[in-house]
Structure 1
Amino acid sequence: MSNARKRLKIEAPKLPAELSELQIPERLHTRDILELGIVQDGVIEDQEASKVIFDGMRFRNVTFTSVSLRELELTDVIFEKCDLSNADFSGAVIHRAEFHSCKMIGVDLSDATLRNVLFEDCLLDYANLRASTAKHVVYAESSMNRSDFCMSKLAKTEFHRCKLDGAQLGTELKGIDLSDCEFNGLAVKPEDLKGCIISREQAFIFASLFGLVLKD
Structure 2
Amino acid sequence: MRARAPRDLAALPYAHRLEAFTGEIEREGTYEWVHFDGSVFEDVQGGSAQFGESAFSSVTFDRGRYRRARFDDVWMHAVRMVGTDLAETTWLDSECTAGVFAGTEIHVSEMHRTVFHQCKFDSVNLRGATLRDVAFVDCLLRDVDFGGATLTGVSFPGSTLDVARFDRAALTRVDLSEALGLGIASGIEALKGAQISAVQLLDLAPALARHIGLTVKEG
Kept in 2, the 8 Å contact 1:15–1:76? The answer is no
**Aligned match for 1:168, one of 162, 165, 169:** 165
After superposition, residues 74-93 of structure 1 pair within 5 angstroms as 74-93=71-90
Q: Which amino acid aligns with 2:162?
A: D
TM-superposed deviation, 1:148: 0.7
What is the distance in 1 between the residues matched to 2:176 and 2:53? 32
How far apart in 2 are the matches of 1:195 and 1:111? 21
User: Counterparts in 2 of 1:111-150, with a 5 A limit?
Assistant: 111-150=108-147
**Amino acid in structure 1 at the alignment position of 2:96:** F
Question: How far did residue 109 of structure 1 move?
Answer: 1.0
CA shift for structure 1 position 120:
0.6
Kindly report the root-mean-square deviation, in angstroms, between the aligned alpha carbons of the 2 structures.
Answer: 2.4
Per the alignment, residue 176 of structure 2 pairs with: 178
Structure 1 residue ranges (4+ consecutive) displaced by more than 4 angstroms after TM superposition:
none
One-letter amino acid of the structure 2 residue matched with residue 197 of structure 1: Q
Q: In the aligned structure 2, how far is the partner of 1:29 from the partner of 1:58?
A: 17
The verdict on how the C-alpha distance between 1:184 and 1:34 changes in structure 2, with shifts beyond 3 A counting, is: closer
Aligned partner of 1:202 in structure 2 is: 200
**How far apart, CA to CA, are the structure 1 residues paired with 2:12 and 2:131?**
17
Q: Over residues 86-122 of structure 1, what are the superposed CA-to-partner deviations in whole Å (9 max), with x where a residue is unaligned?
A: 2111000111111110111222110001111111100
Identify which range, 177-186 or 116-125, moves more after superposition: 177-186
Q: CA deviation at 1:13?
A: 7.3
Distance 1:214 1:35, change over 3 A: farther
**1:23-172 equivalent positions in 2, closer than 5 A:** 23-25=22-24, 28-170=25-167, 171-172=169-170
Q: 1:181 offset after TM fit, Å?
A: 1.4
Q: Which runs of 5+ in 2 are unaligned?
A: 6-10
Query: Aligned residues, how many?
Result: 207
More strand by share: 2
For structure 1, which runs of at least 5 residues remain unmatched after alignment?
Answer: 7-11
For 1:167, what is the secondary structure of its paired residue?
Answer: strand
CA distance in 1, matches of 2:162, 2:37: 33
Q: Check the 8 A contact 1:118/1:139 in 2, yes or no.
A: yes
Following the alignment from structure 1 to structure 2, what is the Cα–Cα distance between the partners of residues 80 and 49?
20
Letter in 1 for 2:23: I
Structure 1: distance between partners of 2:133 and 2:127: 17
Report the CA distance between 1:197 and its aligned residue. Answer: 1.4
Q: For the residues of structure 2 that align with 1:15 and 1:124, how far apart are their CA atoms?
A: 28
1 CA distance for matches of 2:110 and 2:13? 19
**1:9 maps to what in 2?**
none
Report deviation, 1:14.
Answer: 5.5
- If the length of structure 1 is used for normalisation, what is the TM-score? 0.86
Q: Whole-Å Cα distance in 2 between the matches of residues 196 and 205 of structure 1?
A: 15
Equivalent residues of 1:14, 1:76 under 8 A apart? no
The TM-score, its normalising length taken from structure 2, stands at 0.85
The share of aligned pairs that are identical, in percent, is: 24
